[in-house]
Structures are given as C-alpha cells and as structure tokens.
C-alpha cells in the first residue's frame, strides 16, 4: 500500500512586491513605491482563468508596507479584498504578508482559511548580518505573531529558514520555541523546513545548506515537534530526487503549495506535477492534494468559510485528503 504525501494545488497572487525590509537573501522584494499594487479587476481576470483548472489555494503573498505609513491601511484593505474576491470565486485564500498587528490578523481571519509567517530563525545574531536592514525580522515580533494567531484561533503555517548563518543549536532553539507555542494553542498545522538556495536577485550569494544538514534537521524536527504538526519541505528547492525521497522517509509528509511560479524563489521552478507524482509513486508514495486548512481546524472557521470548504469537497469528495 502506498504511503501518502500531500501538497496544495495553489496559485500565488502578489498585492505588491514593494517591501520596507531588505533581507540580503531576498529574491522577491522591490523598493517602496517601485511596485504597482495589484488591482482587483486584474486579480479577477487572473482567478477567472484558474476556474476548473484544479487550483484550490490562493496564496496571497506580499511585501510589507511600513506600519507607520499612511498607505498601511489601504494595503491591508487590498489584501482583505483580494482574499474576499478569491473566496467569492470558490477558492480558499491563505495569506502570508509579513508581520501584522493583532487587529489586522483578526480582520484577515474573516476571509482566510489559514495564514502563515515564517519564524525563520530566533537568533538575534542575524540582526547583525542578513537581517540588518529588516525591522520586522526581530525574533520577538515573529514569535508574537505565532502567539496572536493562536489566540485568534487561526490555522497557521510557520517554518524555519536553513542556511542563512545560523548554527545547529540555533535551529534547535527555533524549533523548541515553535513547539512551546503549539503546546499552548494547538493552531500550527505545518512547519516548513526551507533550505536557503542562491538566487539571482539577492545580495547574500551565500552557500546553500548541505544535504546532510537537511537530513539532520528533519530528524531533529520530527523528534522535537508533536505529530499534530506536519513537516513540509519545498520540492523545488531540493536538487536531487534521492534527497527528496530520503527526506520523506525521515518525516516529511507534505510538499506545500505547488505553484506555476515560486515568487520567493523565482529561479527555482516546480517540477511538472505528473512527473513528480510518477517519481514518488515509484518509491511507494502516493501524491495527494489537500486543502490549505487541515480538517481538525474546520470548526475554527466562520460559517461562510466552512460552506466554501464543503462545496469544494462535495464536488470531488475523493480527490482531497480531508
């Protein structure tokens, strides 16, 4: 019998690439005012082309507008309106737009089945290196986001970024912090173990994490974290097929959102889904789509969000892990 490995059939829409943070490994951002905001009519045309194409998750991924900017409130409203639009068209929105206030998170909860924010790494040492010009990468701010998401009962995705200058012990401490928050709130549905890979637009141009380090942190994560948290790794950032298959054996159970374009790592495209499924099948794995919210969290959502989920499952009840 094949073992199940899940993924989310997803499409990314970007409200804006502009960001007041400047992480030295970023291949996504543009400077403030240099990226036009995505208009709703443009987004509607994009989403219309996705209907009946197998896409379920709409990942709303944005650069950050400064909290004190006069454009902050319109930016949040644009994100809200984009999620509401996606929802009205039968998709399930998942928003990851950086550090938010409690009120902003509460607002976006109304139109998202789940949300996310990478913890990245908790060590303050990175504030002197890759996060020197990234005010919202202060560890305490990101931990606070995880706490607030728990308080608000938002199904949440977080993760750690591997190979940006942190030590093994610092990776472990970041995982332990996530475990502590999960024990308190139980809202973290998945953790991404994301290897740093070199990109053409970044300043860092560092060395990618080694294969042995990837295997090591997967094993450690599986030991530290409860089974209620699914371990995820982006397959497009794993160079070798053998590395991916070994990662699955060590505890990876999900491949995340497989999208036409990885906006965060635009130099690394996802493999054709049929080819990926065939590769996994040969090794005894069955690739199965899932929704961007896990079943144990359905009851946390508003009636409107739950109805959309029910409609999707009703149309193709056997297609999704639920």
Tens-place pLDDT, residues 103-162? 999 999 999 999 999 999 999 999 999 999 999 999 999 999 999 999 999 999 999 999
Collapsing DSSP to helix, strand or coil, 54 comes out as coil
Q: How far is CA 214 from CA 210, 218, 257, 277, in A?
A: 6, 6, 20, 22
- Are β-strands 3-13 and 156-162 bridged in parallel, bridged antiparallel, or unpaired? unpaired
* Mean pLDDT within 299-313: 95
Say how far apart CA 260 and CA 118 lie, in whole Å: 21
Dihedral sign of CA atoms 65, 70, 72, 76 in order:
negative
Collapsing DSSP to helix, strand or coil, 41 comes out as helix
Say how far apart CA 59 and CA 57 lie, in whole Å: 6
Q: What is the pLDDT of residue 201?
A: 79
Topology adopted by domain 3-305: TIM Barrel (3.20.20)
Q: CA torsion, points 44, 235, 256, 39, in degrees to nearest 10? A: -20
Tens-place pLDDT, residues 244-253? 999 999 999 9
Domain residues of the chain, as ranges? Answer: 3-305
Residue with tokens 């069955």: 286
* Mean pLDDT within 302-312: 95
Tens-place pLDDT, residues 214-242? 999 999 999 999 999 999 999 999 989 99
Q: What is the pLDDT of residue 322?
A: 55
Q: What is the pLDDT of residue 204?
A: 74
Say how far apart CA 114 and CA 60 lie, in whole Å: 11
């Amino acid at each position: 019998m094949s073992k199940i490995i899940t993924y989310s059939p997803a499409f990314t829409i970007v409200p804006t690439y502009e960001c007041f943070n400047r992480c030295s490994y970023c291949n996504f951002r543009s400077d403030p005012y240099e990226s036009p905001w995505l208009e709703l009519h443009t987004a509607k045309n994009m989403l219309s082309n996705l209907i009946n194409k197998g896409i379920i998750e709409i990942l709303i991924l944005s650069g950050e507008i400064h909290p004190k900017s006069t454009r902050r409130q319109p930016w949040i409203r644009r994100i809200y309106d984009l999620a509401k639009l996606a929802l009205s068209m039968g998709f399930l929105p998942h928003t990851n737009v950086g550090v938010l206030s409690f009120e902003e998170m509460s607002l976006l909860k109304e139109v998202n089945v789940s949300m996310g924010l990478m913890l990245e790494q908790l060590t303050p040492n990175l504030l002197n290196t890759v996060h020197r010009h990234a005010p919202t990468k202060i560890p305490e701010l990101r931990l606070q986001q995880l706490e607030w998401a728990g308080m608000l009962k938002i199904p949440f995705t977080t993760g750690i970024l591997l190979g940006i200058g942190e030590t093994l012990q610092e990776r472990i401490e970041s995982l332990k912090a996530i475990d502590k928050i999960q024990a308190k709130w139980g809202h973290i549905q998945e953790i991404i173990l994301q290897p740093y890979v070199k990109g053409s637009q970044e300043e860092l141009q560092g060395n990618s994490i080694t294969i042995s380090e990837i295997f090591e942190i997967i094993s450690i994560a599986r030991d530290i974290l409860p089974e209620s948290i699914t371990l995820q790794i982006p397959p497009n950032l794993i160079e070798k097929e053998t590395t991916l298959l070994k990662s699955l054996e060590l505890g990876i159970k999900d491949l995340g959102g497989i999208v036409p374009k990885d906006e965060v790592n635009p130099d690394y495209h996802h493999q054709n889904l049929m080819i990926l499924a065939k590769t996994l099948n040969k090794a005894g794995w069955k690739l199965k789509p899932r929704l961007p919210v896990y079943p144990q969290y359905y009851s946390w959502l508003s009636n409107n969000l739950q109805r959309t989920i029910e409609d999707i499952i009703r149309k193709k009840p056997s297609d999704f892990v639920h």
